[in-house]
Amino acid sequence: MGILIKRQGRFQSWEYQETMTSGTYSEPLRIPPFEPGQQISVSLVIDTGEGKIQFTTSGDDNIDSAIWQDWPLGACIETQSDLLLSPVTAIRLVRISGTVTMEVVT
């Protein structure tokens, strides 16, 4: 299970980065509850190949059997970023081919 890491600074913020060069799915990154209006930026960095981000709203107890949905941008062959606009329980990186990285910043 991925863990968001607290960043030092004036405001509480978090970051996470994971790169995949093999395999299909990353371990889920659990997204904790945040303050109302706090934005979570998710970037999919494509070095080579193709990938996508998936999210779930399944409960914390059901992460292992969660229903995963593709993010609105779908599969990407170029670097893309988007914001999580609604509460989600977890996100994960899906590597379709090549080398892909997921970056999360609040």
The domain in which residue 64 lies consists of: 5-105
- For tokens 């059997």, name the residue: 65
* Mean of pLDDT over the chain: 88
How many domains are contained in the chain? 1
Residue-level pLDDT at 9: 61
Is pTM, for the whole model, over 0.75?
yes
Distance of CA 40 to the CA centre of its chain: 9
Q: What is the mean pLDDT of residues 44-48?
A: 96
CA atoms of 41 and 59, how far apart (whole Å): 22
Please tell me which residue, 38 or 16, carries the higher pLDDT value: 16
CA atoms of 37 and 48, how far apart (whole Å): 34
Of the ranges 18-27, 44-53, 60-69, which one carries the lowest mean pLDDT score? 60-69
Angle at 92 between CA 102 and CA 18, to 5 degrees: 35
Q: What is the mean pLDDT of residues 28-35?
A: 83
Q: What's 100's domain CATH number?
A: 2.60.120
